[in-house]
Amino acid sequence: MKKKCLQDVSQSLKRHRLLQSISLDFSNEKEKCLEDEDLQTVCQNFKNLNSLRSIHLGFDECRITDRGLNDLGEYLQKLCLLQSISLDFSWEITDRGLETLGEYLKQLISLRSINLNFGGCDSITNQGLQKLSKDFQSLISLQSITLHFASLDNIDDKALNCLSECLKTLNSLKHIHLNFAL
C-alpha cells in the first residue's frame, strides 16, 4: 500500500463518526512498509471515531516500533465504547512497547475481547509479558482473550505462570486461546 493511499483512506474514514468497526491489515507490505509516522497519521485521522466498538490492525512485517505503539495506545484509550481489539504486532516491538500498550489497554473498562499476536517479536521477554498480564487484571468485562506466542524464544514458564495467575482473576472470562506453536 502506498503511503499516499493510506493517508487518503484514513482521511476519508474520519468523516464516518458513526463507524463501529474497522479492520486495517498492513501485513506483508515489505517493500512499502508502514512506519511509526504512518501509524500516527492513521491514529490522528481516527480520533473522531468515538463510536468504534471493534478495531483490528495488522502490523506484521511493518516497521512499527514502541514509539508507534505508544501513539496507538494514546488513541485507543480515548475509545470509551471499544469492546474488541485485535493487533498483529511488528517484529520491532519490545517489552517497553508492550508495557506501554498494557497501560493504555487497562483503561478500557468496556473491553470484552483481546486478540494479540506476538509471533516473531523476538525482543519481547518475560518482563514484558508479565507486565501486560498484570494489566489484564483491570479488564473486568473481558470475556475472550487470544494470545499468539509463536516462535518467542524469550518467553518461558515464569511469564506463562504469571499470565495464568492473572487470568484466574478475570471472572467474566469465557474464552481463552493461547497459541504456542513454533
Q: CB-based burial of residue 4 (10 Å sphere; 0-12 exposed, 13-18 middle, 19+ buried)?
A: exposed
Give me the tens of pLDDT residue by residue for the chain, a chain 182 residues long. 556 767 777 777 777 888 899 998 877 655 557 889 888 888 887 778 888 999 999 888 788 899 999 999 998 888 889 999 999 987 888 999 999 999 999 999 899 999 999 887 888 999 999 999 999 999 999 999 999 887 778 888 898 899 999 999 999 999 999 887 75
Retrieve residue 50's grid coordinates.
Answer: 468515538
Residue 84 is predicted with a pLDDT of 97
- CA-closest candidate to residue 14, choices 37, 35, 39, 43: 43
Question: Which superfamily does CATH assign the domain made up of 3-179 to?
Answer: Ribonuclease Inhibitor (3.80.10.10)
* Contact by Cβ (8 Å): 155, 125: yes
Residue 17 is predicted with a pLDDT of 81
The C-alpha angle with vertex 173 and arms to 24 and 133, in degrees rounded to 5, equals: 70
Residue 42 is predicted with a pLDDT of 82
- CA-closest candidate to residue 118, choices 90, 143, 79: 90
